[in-house]
Amino acid sequence: MTNLNAQWRLAARPVGLPNLSDWEYVEVAAAEPADGEFLVKLEYLSLDPAMRGWMNEVRSYVPPVGIGEVMRAGGLGRIVQSRHPDYGVGEQVSGMFGVQQYATSDGTGVNRVDTTLAAAPVYLGGLGMTALTAYFGLLDIGRPEPGQTVVVSGAAGAVGSIAGQIARIKGCRVVGIAGGREKCEWITDELGFDAAIDYKRGDLRAQLREQTPDGVDVYFDNVGGEILDEVLRRIARGARVVICGAISQYNAEQPTRGPANYMQLLVMRASMTGFLVFDFAPRYGEGIAQLAEWLSSGKLKSREDIVTGRLEKFPEVFLRLFRGENTGKLVLELIENEG
């Protein structure tokens, strides 16, 4: 019996915020695993701002998703057929399986999921790629020192919420920038950030001045745009600006807004450095072990913002990322289509 596979394929290059018509929903027969492959039935889809970038035809760190190809996404599921010597039916695994119900894999980039240690969605959140992004970006690129001031934008998002907590664990003063009172209260009251700045409240400049009296030693930027410019005005001598993302610009129809205050890098002998978590693959084990320890001791909290629904809901749930509607890691928990 062949399984029916539902897929979202890229249909067009979006201009601005993606529309439903930028993808095509199709139902096809699921591929049979070839020798050395296994078939995964997806249970959770990871929804990440970076996916928006993969839809553009530009020079980037991975090739763009081709028109007609299954939309690229991370996910987690259970092996339902296997012709691979190392993976057996019933095992749960995570990997870049795409926006579909069933995926075949030869095991490349696949990790095993042990739900006796943490619930499955945590492997997409607090133990997943977004947490590793926060871990290596903050510690290796930002290099915060105890007592320094660390500012994190997108602070209630999957990466920012972890980055800020790691900075706190390392003894820094941590200021998070997020949109709305609820998110701000969450990062201070639940996650232990020293302060939160609600950019929707306005007067970002005054709020930043108040919360960073000694300037900013590390800025972990997930958003770009005006917020990046305002934080640049506050950087301290020798500051490290970590470029992790620029969600404010991903759907811009105008050319990206560059940081007009970049000459503060000269004034303050500071640096702005981009990074990709993939370059740290040889050290994922170290990162996951440390994150797991912090999670189990309660020093680090991970929140997975789980939406449950059928695969058809993907576009609608994905776009919540760009409306600031998620808190923590956005995950789509898949309910199977009626047969």
Q: Return residues touching its own copies (CB under 8 A).
A: 59-61, 224, 229, 233, 243-246, 249, 255-276, 279
- The token duo for 99 is 């926006």
Nearer to its own copies, 72 or 183 (CB): 72
Nearer to its own copies, 50 or 118 (CB): 50
Closest contact distance (angstroms) between CB of 102 and its own copies is: 32
| CB half-sphere exposure, 189, CA atoms < 13 A | 6
The answer to whether 76 and 43 are in contact (CB under 8 A) is yes
Nearer to its own copies, 76 or 223 (CB): 223
Closest contact distance (angstroms) between CB of 141 and its own copies is: 9
Closest contact distance (angstroms) between CB of 62 and its own copies is: 9
The answer to whether 246 and 271 are in contact (CB under 8 A) is no
Nearer to its own copies, 116 or 254 (CB): 254
Alpha-helical segments (H) within the chain? 50-54, 129-136, 158-169, 181-185, 204-211, 225-232, 264-267, 284-297, 314-318
Closest contact distance (angstroms) between CB of 49 and its own copies is: 12
What CA–CA distance (Å, rounded) separates 93 from 41? Answer: 10
Nearer to its own copies, 119 or 276 (CB): 276
Distance of CA 38 to the CA centre of its chain: 26
What CA–CA distance (Å, rounded) separates 41 from 104? Answer: 9
The answer to whether 154 and 196 are in contact (CB under 8 A) is no
Distance of CA 213 to the CA centre of its chain: 30
Closest contact distance (angstroms) between CB of 233 and its own copies is: 8
What CA–CA distance (Å, rounded) separates 266 from 154? Answer: 26
End-to-end Cα spacing for the chain: 13
Please name the residues in contact with 25: beta carbons below 8 A apart, sequence gap of 6 or more.
Answer: 6, 7, 8, 311, 312
Closest contact distance (angstroms) between CB of 268 and its own copies is: 7
Nearer to its own copies, 187 or 243 (CB): 243
Nearer to its own copies, 276 or 319 (CB): 276
